[in-house]
Amino acid sequence: MIELPETHVLTKQVNETLTGKAIANAVANAHPHSFAWYSGDPTTYGAMLAGQKVSQTSTEFGSCGTSVEIKCQDMLLSISTPIKYHNPGEKLPKSHQLLLEFDDGSHMSCTVQMWGSMLCVPFSQRPEPPQTPCPFTDAFDESYLDGLIGKESPTLSAKALLATEQRIPGLGNGVLQDILFNAGIHPKRKLASLSDTDRERLFHSIKSTLKNMRDKGGRDTEKDLFNQNGGYVTILSKNTFIFPCRECGSQLVRQAYMGGNIYFCPTCQPM
């Protein structure tokens, strides 16, 4: 799954790079992956997409948080896995789950890492986007976050609130780490233990951290359309946990928790 900052970065890059290109050929599921999902039979993607011109992307109707939407005249591609662009003549990936060839000889590829979907449907059948407000909008305010918290069990952890069940589409375990660090909240903290001040810090951290990630071209742990790392330097990630905390000098911690790793500073994010 691509997460919210990278979804917006990819959407902008796809819009600037692919709009106007006609699809000459499309191949889906050439290299089967256990956790790659398609709509219907992927062998029909070629017939559905051939000759279709990329006319607009989700900049017109908004991304879905976890996916980039690419309108190809009558068809819609909704992609929740990394997307790469290849100039004419460039070497293509050996393994891919979706490959588009354009009329100018350039290509777009998707190679699933952990899991991802590459859906192709008539645009008239476009699924309804999530009805939850995006953190980049004013509709995602403190009262909205308080409402989310109020609906959940007091024993739910901060990580579970933010990174499970897509309560905030596109906010996953990757961006979660810096959000909680900036808020000074341990990933295992229970909702019942959060004070009003904690909730306020969490709200402002969600808004500012995600915006910073988006505005800097995504995180340095992820790649953009042109296979370049994002410009946002992560505070807590696989790249940094071996170093001391940049704020207090304590040793950062990596632990397995709820099906993935969490990173935290035991001093800045006390239980």
Looking at residue 60, what is its pLDDT? 43
Q: Which two structure tokens, joined as six digits, stand for 101?
A: 């060839």
Pairwise CA distance, residues 239 & 206, whole Å: 21
Instruction: Confirm whether 133 is domain-assigned.
Output: no
Selection from 76, 85, 80 nearest residue 65 by Cα: 80
Give the residue-averaged pLDDT of 163-169: 91
109 neighbors 92 (Cβ within 8 angstroms): yes
Q: Phi/psi at 225 (nearest 5 deg)? A: -60, -30
Looking at residue 132, what is its pLDDT? 85
pTM of the predicted protein model: 0.93
Q: Is the pLDDT at 170 greater than 70, yes or no?
A: yes
Q: Which two structure tokens, joined as six digits, stand for 261?
A: 């790793």
94-103 pLDDT, tens digit each: 999 999 999 9
* Residue 24, domain extent: 4-125
> Do residue 147 and residue 250 come from a single domain?
yes
Q: What are the strands, taking DSSP E only, across 29-131?
A: 36-38, 54-57, 68-72, 75-79, 83-86, 98-102, 107-110, 116-122
Instruction: Confirm whether 15 is domain-assigned.
Output: yes
> Do residue 102 and residue 186 come from a single domain?
no
Which amino acid, 243?
Answer: F
Q: How many CB atoms lie within 10 A of CB 155?
A: 10
Selection from 114, 99, 260, 61 nearest residue 176 by Cα: 260
Instruction: Confirm whether 186 is domain-assigned.
Output: yes
How many structural domains compose the chain?
2
> Do residue 37 and residue 107 come from a single domain?
yes
Looking at residue 66, what is its pLDDT? 80
33-90 pLDDT, tens digit each: 999 999 999 999 999 999 999 986 654 444 557 889 999 999 999 999 999 999 999 9
**Beta-bridge partner residues of 238:** none
Instruction: Confirm whether 117 is domain-assigned.
Output: yes
> Do residue 35 and residue 110 come from a single domain?
yes
Pairwise CA distance, residues 266 & 164, whole Å: 23
Of all helices (H) and strands (E), which one includes residue 143?
Answer: helix 142-151
134-153 pLDDT, tens digit each: 999 999 999 999 999 999 99
Instruction: Confirm whether 84 is domain-assigned.
Output: yes
Q: Is the pLDDT at 128 greater than 90, yes or no?
A: no
188 neighbors 176 (Cβ within 8 angstroms): no
User: Computed from CA positions of residues 71, 75, 81, 86, in that sequence, does the dihedral angle turn out positive or negative?
Assistant: negative
Share of the chain above pLDDT 70, in %: 96
Q: How many CB atoms lie within 10 A of CB 77?
A: 30
Q: What is the mean pLDDT of the chain?
A: 93
Pairwise CA distance, residues 70 & 57, whole Å: 4
Looking at residue 62, what is its pLDDT? 45
> Do residue 164 and residue 83 come from a single domain?
no
